Structure 1
Amino acid sequence: MIYRQMIGGDYSMGRPFLSRAAAVGQAIYTRLKLLQGEWWEQLDDGLPLFQNILGTRGHPDNLNAIDLLVQARIIETPHVSQITDFQSNYESRTYFFECNVETDFDEKIPVSMNFGGWE
């Protein structure tokens, strides 16, 4: 797997390219950042951040539903074999998660992201 590296939140032109587990990590990041309805060619693709996540209350049942949405987005990324040590928190309309992802390249990568709480 080869993936174009992002620098400052945007794809870099030319080199450097990422490979193996680093490429998987970049793919996870971009898949989680793609919001549902954002890409005009496939409006149903993406994380339903505004549709199903930020508008809900931080109740444990809602947290579990959000966790499943995020985990599905991660596990559907090419070369992801397993998610381990998944922990999340949802407070003041801000959702945060962290986990480890095992790849097909026999490497683990840490993944964490914060949705909401923009300052």
Structure 2
Amino acid sequence: MYTIIMSLIMTIMLSTIMMLMCIFVSKKNFLNREKMSPFECGFTPKSSPRSPFSSQFFLIAVLFLVFDVEIVIILPMISSLKSANMTKWFMTSTMMIIILLVGLYHEWENGVLEWTN
């Protein structure tokens, strides 16, 4: 128990010290209008330098990450097929696939996968 408490205290102290070092060492950035505007040979910019971000793209990217992580979880299950209990392996695989399909159906019903909204 003593080792766990000491590890926790050391972790908290180390992270606090690193955060304080970042605050003191970091470059102070004073933002003003001139520094934040894009440079176009001394002229005023003709258009906005930043295009609007599509929230639809963000949702599709998050869905991709979720399915990507699930595939990373499912792939080792194939190699454990030889040494695992078949009933437990089949139930685990089935539950993972059902959870993925229910999530996909939920996203589809909410219209997240529609690009023409």
Richer in strand (by share): 1
Give the TM-score normalised by the residue count of structure 2. 0.29
The structure whose Rg is larger is 2
Higher relative contact order (CA 8 A, sep 6+): 2
Higher share in helix: 2
